Copies of this chain bind each other. A is one copy, B any other.
């Protein structure tokens, strides 16, 4: 097979975890997800740095994505002290091998659901 698909650096400019949640299940609770696909043959050592409007960046937060696996992380669980609901942020994701990164929000502040998603911006 050829070079694994992806980049070693990705950025997401948008970031906001809604508060005032109406959901009664974890599945439907407002959250933002960071999806990281490692389609290659080697483990990806990943670090995430969070950027804010009015403070120095937080992190890097480190985790691994095994070879041929995907990981869907909830930003709500990342570091609730530094990243509470209602705080505007951005993310930079760096990996030791090429990965693919996508960002999604599920918003249940009002009755019904709203969703947004975009590929992150990748660049080696």
Taking beta carbons and an 8 Å cutoff, which residues of A are in contact with B? Answer: 2, 5-6, 9-16, 28, 33, 35-37, 39, 49, 51-54, 56-57, 68-72, 88-90, 92, 100-102, 104-123
Contact = CB atoms under 8 A, between A and B. Distances in A.
Given A14-B72, A37-B51, A112-B112, A121 B119 contact: yes
A109 B72 CA distance: 20
A102 B53 contact: no
A70 B92 contact: no
7 contacts: A12-B102, A16-B72, A35-B88, A70-B88, A90-B100, A111-B111, A119-B119
A102 B123 contact: no
A49 B68 CA distance: 10
B121 A5 contact: yes
